[in-house]
Amino acid sequence: MKIQSRGAILLLFLAFLSASVFPAFAKEKASYYYSVSMEGFSSPLFSASEYADFSASIEVSPRDAINPAFSMHYLLPANPLAIGDSLAGISIDLTLFYLEDHPLAWMSPRKTSLAPQLSAAAYVPIADLGNLRYTVSLSPFRLFAGYGYFSIGAFSLVLDPSFTVSGWGLRLFDFSYLKF
């Protein structure tokens, strides 16, 4: 238990260090954004609930291919509401490319770019900081519209502390808005 607590603290420290150091090497000024999403998991590591995910992120090189971002998350079991089962997390998110002429252009009256994302996240229950769990996610239907990102149907694999697959997840939607 103590080793996992130290691991969680180390992960948080590395995330904050990365978020503060990497923007200095970016070609453009880093972007900051916040997100709201709804997701669910089929895994014994997550309670049987729909989760509202509130996150804050820093995007290192906006609109570059292979664009990393670093995020802090608060996962709230929303249906049924179970504040005691909330989780805190960090993630490293990688936008793979920006494609302006894409098959999902009909979904928005604005000009959009398809911007799929791959993410790796670590979560800890707020009530038990030593109980780590991980997710690896792919958001293939993610659009960039100039002022934010919109995603539907992201798939996740849930991993236990030994990185063994213990389930899956589905993010129904994600709305991310650029702050500056």
- How would you write the pLDDT of the chain (180 residues) with one tens digit per residue? 444 445 555 555 555 555 555 544 445 567 788 899 999 999 999 988 899 999 998 888 666 667 788 999 999 999 888 888 899 999 999 888 877 776 665 566 677 788 899 999 999 998 877 788 999 999 999 888 877 788 889 999 999 988 999 999 999 999 887 776
Q: How far apart are CA 66 and CA 145, in angstroms?
A: 18
Best CATH choice for the domain 2-178 from the list 1.10.3470, 2.40.160, 1.10.10, 1.10.287: 2.40.160
Which pTM does this prediction carry? 0.78
Specify the length of the chain in residues: 180
Separation between Cα atoms, residue 143 and residue 156, nearest integer Å: 18
What ranges make up the beta strands (E) of 61-140? Answer: 67-79, 87-95, 113-114, 117-125, 133-139
